[in-house]
Each structure stands twice: as C-alpha cells, then as structure tokens.
Amino acid sequence: MGIAENIRSIKNELPPQVKLVAVSKFHPVEALQEALEAGQTVFGENRPQEFEKKAVALEGRGIEWHFIGHLQTNKLKMVLPYASLVQSVDSLHLLDAINEWGRKNGKVIPVLLELHVAAEDSKQGFYEEEILDVLFRAESYGNVCFRGLMGMATNTDCEEDIRADFGRIRACFDYLRDLFPEYEDFTELSIGMSGDWRIALDYGATIVRIGTAIFGPRVY
Ligand SMILES: *Cc1c(COP(=O)(O)O)cnc(C)c1O
C-alpha cells in the first residue's frame, strides 16, 4: 500500500478525538509531501538536524511539528522555534533548559513528560515519582506548558507485557490528573506506535505516533 492509503486506513480506525502523528524520521521530504497531499498535517521527527531541515523545507504548508526524540540542550535552537509539542522531555536538565529558552525568547513551550516504563534500559524518561516532583513545582516553570505524558511500551510481541506497560502509564496519568485538577492543559496521553497503537487505544491514547505503518521501513 502507498502512503496515502496507509494514512486513510489508519484514520478510518482511529476515533476522531485521537491525534495521528505521522513519524517521518529517516524518510525524505517527498514522502512527507505525499502524506500532506493525503491530508496528514501532524508530523513527528526525532533528530534535531533532520527536524529543522524538514521544518524549513516545508515552511508555510501548515504542518504541526512534534519533536519525539532525545533532545540535547545544545540543540534546542534547532527544535523549539518550530515544534508545536515537544513530546520527549526526559530529564530535569532538559526541562530547565527549555524553560530558560522560552524565557529568553518570550515563548511558552508545550511539552509532554516522558515516562520510563519499558523494560529496555535504553528507553529514556522520568520515573513516576520524578514526574510528581516536577508537577508539584510546575509553577516555577513559567515558560513551559505541561500538556501530558508520553510513553513507550516494551518492544515485544507479548501483548500482555505491552498491556502492562500501557496500563502503568495510564494509571500514572489518571493519578496526576486527579492530584492536579488545576492543570487543565494536562490532557494528552501519547502512547502507541506502528506495532501497538490499537492496544494503546484501549488505554485512552489521545495521540498515537506512527511511522513504519505509514511510510514503510526506515533505511538507516
Ligand atoms: C520512531 C518512533 C515512533 C514510530 O515508530 P514506528 O514503530 O515506526 O511506528 C514513535 N515514537 C517514537 C518516540 C519514535 O522514536
């Protein structure tokens, strides 16, 4: 199937309130153009340089850009001018730097806090109690808007393990929303990728991040 068809068939299955982020990393600008022509307007990238290049190349096309990768603080200027949402805030150091960049540039940066749950050591993210600490001090981040949580399930074929991971992320999300009802913008739960987005819907995903199932395999 082609890109346009893939997007249409995924959108057919997605509840209307769930946002589809087309993860276009490693794919050329032409592939994004094809997706745009099929009506896809939200794209996700995970490498700052590639993100900036594509954002500049496709400026004025009405794209909503999400950054979904590990972000080093010396690369903020490649990402923050273009990102509608930074989904992958995974450390206090990064959060502080984003807030400082926002202060200097007169902007409020919408972010998701990345929750570490997957079994792989390589997965980045905060632990539950760290996120709790951040939100208790949310007032001190005047140039960041906390929009919710992002998480990744363990990369496995075992559906039970995936459900356990998504269940933990959802439980953390519900707990935080109950604890901080005053943070009315904290509404987004970004879970689900090509292999597990249908499962993620059972756990209340509001955003799914889908690459391979739209664009095909990545050539690294
Ligand atoms: C690459 C990536 C995705 C998309 O992965 P697919 O399996 O190709 O759908 C989603 N989220 C993050 C954080 C990624 O890095």
Distance CA 152, CA 8 (A): 24
Give yes or no for a contact between 135 and 160, defined as CB atoms under 8 angstroms apart. Answer: no
Q: Spell 122-150 as b/e; 16+ CB within 10 A means b.
A: ebbbbebebbeebbeeeeebebbbbbbbb
Which atom of ligand 1 is least distant from the CA of 213? Answer: 9
The answer to whether the CB of 68 is under 6 A from ligand 1 is: yes
The answer to whether the CB of 209 is under 6 A from ligand 1 is: yes
Give CA 104 to chain center in angstroms. 24
Choice between 1 and 145, residue whose per-residue pLDDT is larger: 145
The answer to whether the CB of 193 is under 6 A from ligand 1 is: yes
Q: Domain ranges in the chain?
A: 3-215
| Shortest-distance Cα residue to atom 10 of ligand 1 | 209
Q: Band the pLDDT of 24: cuts 50, 70, 90.
A: very high
Q: How much distance in Å is there from the Cα of 118 to the middle of ligand 1?
A: 14
Among 23, 26, 70, 112, name the best residue to mutate to test ligand 1's pocket (greatest count of ligand atoms within 8 A of Cβ).
Answer: 23
pLDDT in tens, 122-177: 668 999 999 999 999 999 999 999 999 999 999 999 999 999 999 999 999 999 99
Give the pLDDT of residue 121: 67
The answer to whether the CB of 25 is under 6 A from ligand 1 is: yes
Which atom of ligand 1 is least distant from the CA of 150? Answer: 13
- Average pLDDT on 87-109 reads 98
Give me the chain's average pLDDT, please: 96
* Kind and range of the H or E run holding 22: strand 19-23
Q: How much distance in Å is there from the Cα of 65 to the middle of ligand 1?
A: 15
The top-level CATH class assigned to 3-215 is: alpha beta
Count Cα atoms within 13 angstroms, Cβ side, for 68.
24
* pTM of the complete model: 0.97
